[in-house]
Structure 1
């Protein structure tokens, strides 16, 4: 297989990447493992287990790894770029169209209100689904609840996530007493950070519409990419912290970006392109996308043959599990904040509650890779009807 053939092969995968990571991974397994034997099924399963522990979108990381097995590091780069390219170009075009049409001032604004409610329901379902896989014992449940509460009270994730990882690593190694001491120290440290943080003054909040430089957007994306455990939804609190907290965009626009990514053949994390576009225009979109996908390339390209050895480092595994539990708490806290912001934005609350309940019903009862797309379009139609 030549380099162009490899690129076109994974470009086709990118064009067919509907339905989220489960459907994307199943597609790769069917064609490259079961039909063409690029790699044994057992090795594919071990690699997938490693990818789920490491940060970044698993399907994209698998493409990089498989491309590298076929044609070396250049093959890995080409496979990863080809897989993400269709989604990136489509999101880039939709980002331009979103502002070119001035959607919020048009009749579509009512539809997007409904869509925002539907996206909150999608995040609620994602928290449940991720929690089912991550929160496997009382320690992890406690860490998720503690980190979520600390986040709602104003503690920075830079403080609480490392503590969550260390506490669970100690607990998993049998040193529960030391883990409890560490947890109490963490609570005291988070309380001190909240207590001594300067209060937010009216003049301190940047006005919505503030622009960001390419480097700031790149670093914001890189931070989210390095902390994305267990799927793209785990990037939401980190990107929102920067995008909304620094005034690059509103919560409504943030939810709109998530909605747009849900209807594209791409990893959901591609909504970072929209965030970058809003924060810094076309260059900002490129910078944010590069930052958030860099770890997904780097882990496969740099570690390659050593990836499976990660499974043997039990202490590192436990540390990452504790961090992942903390991230679940962060997503839950962010969901509450987004839900409150959305409730304050809609003209009448009860139609939003109906849309929310209907979206949850679709997501829980209809087991299809198209259920997210269905929720987005159904919620938009309902929002148009209710608020148009």
Structure 2
């Protein structure tokens, strides 16, 4: 196949990428494995196992890898661009529209507030779903809980995540004393470095940042590096990018928590990997150039792992020590998402005119996500929450 043919083939996947990574991977498997025989089912399963333990959106990484089967590295590049382009264009357009209309002073205000409540429910469901596949034993559960508490106390993830990986490797090797020593060392480093803006840190409540307007703009270099950091630390699905992007975007004053939640909501209604909300973050922080820089940074690892390590990736399955470290890191990331969910929920609650109305939207959204097994349940949940926000005006 020519590079253009590969691009068009995967562009179709991008236009139909509703329902999150599970639905996207199922679509790719059905068409390229079962129907068109691009590769065998066994090889597809091995590749999926590799990409599930590496950072980045696995559906996108699979597209790049499979594109290389048809057109070598240029084919992989075109496949990845085709898959991500529809979501990028749509999110870029919605980002422009978001700032063209003064949402807070229009009827869209209650709609977006209702959607922000729904996003909290979406993240709660994601934590549960991701945790089911990652927190598989007592040590992983302990790492997840400890990481969440550390995040709420303001400990940097640069301390938490490496410690999580090392502790789990040692625990699997039954070196419990060394694992406890690593935990103690990580706690000492966290104490010496000093706390950040954790929710449980009484001197600097995290919710105070959400109440402040974003007053700082970012350079395209800073946005690219922030996206690259998130892309390299996105284990277990796009939701795991949330705490890392929020740490930069809200922590540096590029945007408010309310705007961050709006970006997540917009990405939930698009046919694209959820991680495309990084385009919105970049647009808010640095305009059109910032959107491109942030998107390029966060997708670069997804391209790089496949394009550079193509011949070696399947060998990762055989490296059990690396698996143990990545599983520990992934458990730590689950804890970070849980802590971020609590902080975002506090920020939303402070903006609600009526807590009962907000809770009603939250419970109904959770019910849709848990009870309706459809690839469109996220889209429906976001739309119905916006409608309820408008009808109820969140109790106003």
Pick the TM interval, shorter chain.
over 0.9
Change (3 A) 1:380 1:196: closer
- 2:19/2:376 contact within 8 Å kept: yes
CA distance in 1, matches of 2:161, 2:195: 18
Deviations 1:19-55 (A, max 9, x none): 1101110111011111111111001000000000000
- In the TM superposition, what is the alpha-carbon distance from 1:190 to its structure 2 partner? 2.1
Matched, 1:345 2:364: no
Q: Is 2:287 the partner of 1:281?
A: yes
Q: Partners in 1 of 2:215 and 2:40 — Cα distance?
A: 50
In structure 2, the residue corresponding to 1:345 is in which secondary structure?
A: coil
CA contact (8 A) 2:48 2:62 kept: yes
> 1:170 maps to which residue?
170
Match of 1:235 in 2: 241
Asked whether 1:10 is paired with 2:10, we answer yes
Shift of 1:180: 1.8
Residues in 2 aligned to 1:92 and 1:207: alpha-carbon distance in whole angstroms: 22
The answer to whether the aligner puts 1:252 opposite 2:244 as a matched pair is no
**1:346-366 Cα deviation digits (max 9, x unpaired):** 111110001101111111111
Taking a change above 3 Å as real, the CA distance of residues 207 and 119 of structure 1, as seen in their structure-2 partners, is closer
Residue 195 of structure 1: how far off its partner (Å): 5.6
Equivalenced residues, count? 386
Q: State the shift of 1:173 in Å.
A: 2.0
1:332 alignment partner, SS class: helix
Q: Within 1, Cα distance between the matches of 2:231 and 2:356?
A: 37
Q: State the match for 2:158 in structure 1.
A: 158
Q: What residue number does 1:92 align with?
A: 92
Output the CA distance in 2 between the equivalents of 1:321 and 1:368: 28
Q: Is the 8 A contact 1:23 1:369 kept in 2?
A: yes
- Once residues 135 and 33 of structure 1 are traced to their aligned partners in structure 2, the CA distance between those partners, rounded to angstroms, is 30
**Aligned alpha-carbon RMSD (Å):** 1.7
SS in 2 for 1:247: coil
CA distance in structure 2 between the aligned counterparts of 1:19 and 1:371, rounded to whole angstroms:
7
Shift of residue 175, structure 1, vs aligned partner: 1.5
1:166-194: per-residue Cα shift (whole Å, max 9, x none)?
10011112222211221222222223333
Q: Deviations along 1:261-305, whole A, 9 cap, x unmatched?
A: 011110000000000000000000000000000000000001001
Please show how residues 307-386 of structure 1 align to structure 2 within 5 Å.
Answer: 307-386=313-392
What's the counterpart of residue 67 of structure 1? 67
Q: CA–CA distance in 2 between the matches of 1:90 and 1:195?
A: 39
How far, CA to CA, are the matches of 2:215 and 2:86 in structure 1? 28
Q: What SS does the corresponding residue of 1:305 show, helix, strand or coil?
A: coil
2:312 corresponds to: 306
Q: Which of 259, 265, 284 is the matching residue for 2:271?
A: 265
- CA–CA separation in structure 1 for the residues paired with 2:35 and 2:65: 18
**Is 1:108 paired with 2:114?**
no
Cα distance between partner residues in 1 of 2:71 and 2:367: 45
Aligned equivalents of 1:110, 1:66: Cα separation in 2: 43
User: TM-score if structure 1 supplies the norm length?
Assistant: 0.97
Match in the other structure for 1:294: 300
Q: Which residue of 225, 228, 236 corresponds with 2:231?
A: 225
In 1, Cα distance between equivalents of 2:11 and 2:332: 35
User: Per-residue deviation at 1:196?
Assistant: 9.7
The answer for unaligned runs of 5 or more in structure 2 is: none
* Structure-2 residue corresponding to 1:33: 33
Residue 209 of structure 1: how far off its partner (Å)? 3.4
SS at match of 1:5: helix
Query: Residue 207 of structure 1: CA displacement?
Result: 5.3
In structure 2, the partner of 1:193 is 193
What are the residue-to-residue correspondences of 1:143-154 with 2, within 5 Å? 143-154=143-154
CA deviations on 1:80-117 (whole Å, 9 max, x unpaired) are: 00100000000000000011011122110011000000
Q: Tell me the secondary structure at the aligned position of residue 276 of structure 1.
A: helix
Residue aligned with 2:373, SS: coil
Q: Residues 117-169 of structure 1, C-alpha deviation per residue, up to 9 Å, x if partnerless?
A: 00000000000000000000111111111111011011100111101111001
